[in-house]
Structure 1
Amino acid sequence: MKETLMRAKLPFYQTTIMANFAQTGVVIISLPRLLSENIGTNGWAALLICSSVAAFNLLLISFVYRLGKGKSIFEISQSALPKFMLVPFFGILTGLWAILGSLVGKEYILILKSLSFPSLHPAYLYILFEILVFLLLTKGIMSISRIAVLSFYIIIWNFLLMIYAYEDFDLSRMTTFWFKDATHSFKGWLDVYISFLGYELCLLLFPYSNEKTHLIRAFQIANLITTFSYTLTAFVAFGFFSLHQLQHMKFPVLNLLSYVELPFLKRIDDLVFNITLFRVLMTSVLYSWAAIETIKWLLPTSNKQWIPYVILAIFPLASLIIIPSELENTEHWLGLFGFTEAGVAFLLPIFLLVILLINKYRGRNYA
């Protein structure tokens, strides 16, 4: 309890930027293709629907935060269930968050290899990436949030490049039809929705926030920023390429940027993708941090500070060795774990809400 009270609290501005990094990542370069395949014509509008679902999910999380008086999800869970019953549950969540963070990084490395280092084995780049992740993890969530702000200022200018697409942009390419010529399966909608995941990590930030943090407001604003950036990018892509072209491009945003010509730089698409490293790194760090926090709760009596990091290192190694180093395989596994995380994002707040309501009915208050 004393440790919780002594924790530094996150500022509102830093929390908002960090939340935005948790949501957005390398998926943005292939998002127009996902929309064209799964949603169809004017697929960019589906992002507004997915954003609304994410906002509703954050509303559920806000109920947990208010009813629980800012207590951690571990304290809330343990108030109703013995720890031996919770250990397997949170152990699975640890693995899920650690593997998600690893796969996000691995996907980026494999794309980077195919674009810039075709003859280099991806393991070398992946190991360097994970070293950066672990170095950031050792600094704690306060330093991570400050680094997120610095990274934000480095990459925010990328969206200004969309201005250069106006000459070839044509509204007629979008047609007057909505959501046509696509599969419209539940899996397809989930493929699009998981690009918004990351907001659920605010569940782990309860002990690091107070009334000045405005935690849920920060994540709601971050969700709006993510929605704007996704929608702008997809809207421009749908007006720049035809639906058929988008459905047959692996990374439509990089193809779009390849048409941009600047007097001082020839390959702007390569530069933008390399800078995307900051987003991917922060997303991977935040999922890994969530896993570390859970491991520390699972092993509270350990006086060895390095044990959680050793445990966490197993998951990146597993994703490197067990999952084949082909981009298609990595995307397949990332999709499977993404579907699972989408379920966790909804079911975990509901689980916590049930516990809180039962405790309130029994007369237990969280001071």
Structure 2
Amino acid sequence: MEKTKEKLAPFHVMILIFMTQSGVMAFILPQLLADNFGTNGWASLIGFGLLATLNVALIGLVYKLGKGRSIFVILEQAFPKFLIFPIYVAVASLWTMIGCLAGKEYVMIFQMFAFPTTNPMLFKLVLDVLVFWLLTKGIYNISKAATIFFWLFFWMVFLLFFFYGEFQWARLTPFLFKGGKYEWMKNVDIYSAFLGCELSMLLFSYSNKRTKLIQSTMWANLITTASYVYMAIMLFGIYSLKQLQTKNFPVLDALAYIRFPFVERVENLFYGFFMFSAIFSVLLFVWSAKEMLHQIVPKVRGSAIGFIIMAAAYFIAMIPDILNEVGEWLSILSLIEIGVAFGLPVVLIVVLLIQNNGGKQAYE
């Protein structure tokens, strides 16, 4: 861990978690909602947002019961290291895979729309170099950089104002969840758009009461949910249900209709701005993996661990070479991550209840 007395600011935490959640899934979220839930599928996002809020509430209970102690301290006081270290490796590997494939998915979509003849791994290399550079700066500088990148990215939400003239309430219809082809696994894909808030567990050591870590994470999740709902309502009012169900990237298709007299193919510029969100979707997962592995080898410099993680992630990202395959990998990994996101806080809560009720801390 980074040895410094500086603590994260509430606003920076909120923006950092929001940028982590707001990843490439936004491109395809309206299509998934239409295909899975049918008419007014946007309304289901409220339920997914509440589920993410429950996840944050569990993390908040861990923070309260543990009195702000690091999750590593809590676990290592309850279990021997030979049992806990393999779990660290497994979870760090999971976060590394999610980060590297989220980055691969973004660059493949960007390459497909903007530079179809270029090898996507070249773009992935550029993205990874930037991620690694930020990774070496530490979580405090990462959180401050997230705030800068936020203003470069969030303004794109207001581009939806261009479509107010095309919006028709009649397309939403009075029917709720009709005409969809419900599949349970698609719920995992939809909820994966909210993943990232659980990584706030790794920020305990960098926070204090003034940080308001849990409140900031709650606000980040609320902003993410509101942004997704607003975007989905607009897309459901712009396209018919059948159109949404057949478009792979409805958000990008909508942006392609925007025209400025002084810029040609302005949609390519918009795709580039999504990179700022993609960077932090990768970055916080990789940073969290680095924190996990640093617990095992504390004498190794964090930058060296980060380099090994990024190098491994780059070569792993070469394996799936088509977009659908990347999506399938991410679906499986997201399902596992949902289990970690809810399961780890529950385990920590049980451990803390035992410890706080006089249970023995055998491995202090």
Q: How many percent identity over aligned positions? A: 38
Contact 1:99-1:315 at 8 Å conserved across structures: no
Deviations for 1:253-279, whole angstroms, at most 9, x for unmatched residues?
111112222333343322221101000
Tell me what 1:320 maps to: 317
Q: Distance in 2 between matches of 1:139 and 1:314?
A: 18
Instruction: Determine whether 1:198 maps to 2:196.
Output: yes
Summarize the alignment of residues 1-367 of structure 1 with structure 2, pairs less than 5 Å apart.
6-300=4-298, 302-321=299-318, 323-362=319-358
Deviations for 1:71-97, whole angstroms, at most 9, x for unmatched residues?
111111011110110011111001001
- Amino acid of the structure 1 residue aligned with 2:323: L
Q: 1:187: Cα distance to partner?
A: 1.4
Contact 2:125-2:314 at 8 Å conserved across structures: no
Q: Which moved more, 1:174-183 or 1:265-274?
A: 265-274
Across the aligned residues of Structure 1 and Structure 2, the Cα RMSD in angstroms comes to 1.6
Q: Distance in 2 between matches of 1:120 and 1:6?
A: 43
Q: Distance in 1 between matches of 2:264 and 2:197?
A: 36
Change (3 A) 1:233 1:8: same
SS at match of 1:33: helix
Q: 1:364: Cα distance to partner?
A: 6.6
Deviations for 1:224-265, whole angstroms, at most 9, x for unmatched residues?
110111111110000000010011111101111122223333
Contact 1:162-1:236 at 8 Å conserved across structures: yes
Q: Distance in 2 between matches of 1:21 and 1:345?
A: 18
Scaled by the length of structure 2, the TM-score of the pair is 0.95
Deviations for 1:341-366, whole angstroms, at most 9, x for unmatched residues?
1111100100111110111122579x
5+ residue gaps, structure 1, are: none
Change (3 A) 1:130 1:47: same
Q: Distance in 2 between matches of 1:346 and 1:7?
A: 30
- Amino acid of the structure 2 residue aligned with 1:331: G
Q: 1:304: Cα distance to partner?
A: 4.6
Tell me the number of residue pairs that the alignment of Structure 1 and Structure 2 aligns. Answer: 361
Contact 2:46-2:225 at 8 Å conserved across structures: yes
Q: 1:116: Cα distance to partner?
A: 1.2
Q: Distance in 2 between matches of 1:231 and 1:304?
A: 42
Contact 1:110-1:325 at 8 Å conserved across structures: no
Q: Which moved more, 1:119-128 or 1:346-355?
A: 119-128
Q: Distance in 2 between matches of 1:121 and 1:258?
A: 23
- Amino acid of the structure 2 residue aligned with 1:107: E
- Amino acid of the structure 2 residue aligned with 1:249: K
SS at match of 2:164: helix
Contact 1:27-1:195 at 8 Å conserved across structures: yes
- Amino acid of the structure 1 residue aligned with 2:282: S
Contact 1:14-1:145 at 8 Å conserved across structures: yes
Change (3 A) 1:208 1:264: same
Q: Distance in 2 between matches of 1:91 and 1:340?
A: 15
Contact 1:137-1:285 at 8 Å conserved across structures: yes
- Amino acid of the structure 2 residue aligned with 1:291: A
- Amino acid of the structure 1 residue aligned with 2:211: T
Scaled by the length of structure 1, the TM-score of the pair is 0.95
SS at match of 1:276: helix
Q: 1:336: Cα distance to partner?
A: 1.0
SS at match of 1:296: helix
Q: Distance in 1 between matches of 2:266 and 2:97?
A: 31
Q: Distance in 1 between matches of 2:302 and 2:31?
A: 44
Q: Distance in 2 between matches of 1:157 and 1:38?
A: 29
Change (3 A) 1:201 1:162: same
- Amino acid of the structure 2 residue aligned with 1:69: K
Contact 2:290-2:302 at 8 Å conserved across structures: no
Q: 1:305: Cα distance to partner?
A: 4.9
Change (3 A) 1:134 1:140: same
Q: Distance in 1 between matches of 2:293 and 2:179?
A: 46
